[in-house]
Amino acid sequence: MAHAVGGAVKRHVLVAEAEGERDALECRKRRYRARRFETDIIGNRAHELSIAVIHAHPSSDHSDDRQNPYTVWMRIGIDLGGTKIEGIVLDGSREVARMRVGTPRGDYAATLAAIASLVADLERAVGAAGTIGIGIPGTIATVTGLVKNANSTWLIGRPLQADLEARLARPVRIANDANCFAMSEAADGAAAGAEIAFGVIVGTGTGAGISIRGQIVTGANGIAGEWGHNPLPWPDQEERPGPPCYCGKHGCIETFLSGPAMTADHERRTGARMLPRDIARSAERGDSAALATMTRYERRMARALASVINVLDPHVIVLGGGMSNIDRLYDTVPALWADYVFAATGSTPDVRTRLARAAHGDASGVRGAAWLWR
């Protein structure tokens, strides 16, 4: 009997010790959550790293995730621009922090340091670490892993992804800034729920990204969506050979549809140098020269987008960038592109593609960078 009692006591002690160990383990888990990430750098190599992620207090819409000790709630997005580097933290779709710093133009090492410092500041602000996605004004070469096609030229030929992973001690995902824009609008913006979306940035330059079922398409060469560097389709005689482009060719879509292109077109016709927003306002007031400039611009955009519809057939085309703020485009351009979308002779095309304004405006790029971890 004494032996039985002693055995019961011993078992009780062992159970208590085991429960204490489990409690201690759970305590450690509550303090530090580890997750193995599989890197899927867009247009680059894949590998794995293990990192510790400290959780912030979750918001109410993550009740299911709390049961998983390896869930990361915070997504950090970085938009590496030519004049500023912007960072954002998303908790689900909710923005919880945003910061920006100046871009150290021409200085690669300082650019790396600025990004690392911005990430650290964001994580301190929210009390949590998270996944990191970065949008860049270029792309990562598939074979070499080096930056190419960047208008921030000090990035060209640099192993940006590898250098940032080393500094941040975790994997990052990198995409072209236009792809980030398309990702943002497909995730929870104007293209949410669309099977195929074409996200266009028309501002200082002209670029685009392709989203299919909510995922970005980059292509074999990492240049899917580089719509701005195709020639303007169905050109008039006066549009040939077209203005010179920085890529070395003439007549690229960008040389007709970017903001500076509209300014230059108006100046060639009138001698007056005006910003696009001022040209649009003058056209609204009935100025004949401004109205003629707008009409030329709208016909060119309609032709350029019709060529995209003929190849990609997207459900929605989302406009972003400074030119997307011209309200009349959303009525005039779809009315004009019907003349160029493919249809059999004698028939009228039933063009179901929508033209929509970006839901997140100027924030789409940095939000899309965060959404690269989706």
Cis upstream peptide for 231 (omega within 30°):
no
pLDDT beneath 70, residues of the chain? 1-73, 344-349
Structure tokens at 99: 């910061």
| Same domain assignment for residues 178 and 43 | yes
Q: Can you give the pLDDT at residue 147?
A: 94
| Same domain assignment for residues 173 and 194 | no
141 sits in which H/E element: none
Q: Can you give the pLDDT at residue 29?
A: 34
Bridge-based pairing of strands 354-357 and 316-320 is parallel
Q: Can you give the pLDDT at residue 18?
A: 39
Domain that holds residue 112: 29-184+365-370
CATH of the domain at 103: 3.30.420.40
| Same domain assignment for residues 154 and 83 | yes
Structure tokens at 335: 């009315």
Percent of the chain at pLDDT > 90 equals 65
Q: pTM of the prediction?
A: 0.73
Q: Can you give the pLDDT at residue 72?
A: 52
In a domain, 17, yes or no: no
Separation between Cα atoms, residue 312 and residue 351, nearest integer Å = 13
37 closest CA partner among 109, 130, 114, 111: 130
Q: Can you give the pLDDT at residue 14?
A: 36
Separation between Cα atoms, residue 112 and residue 129, nearest integer Å = 18
- How many domains are there within the chain? 2
Separation between Cα atoms, residue 195 and residue 201, nearest integer Å = 20
How many CB atoms are located within 10 Å of the residue 139 CB? 26
In a domain, 11, yes or no: no
| Same domain assignment for residues 63 and 176 | yes
| Same domain assignment for residues 180 and 200 | no
Bridge-based pairing of strands 147-148 and 172-176 is unpaired
Cβ partners under 8 Å of residue 23, min gap 6: none
Q: Can you give the pLDDT at residue 361?
A: 87
Q: Can you give the pLDDT at residue 222?
A: 84
Separation between Cα atoms, residue 284 and residue 279, nearest integer Å = 9
| Same domain assignment for residues 217 and 348 | yes
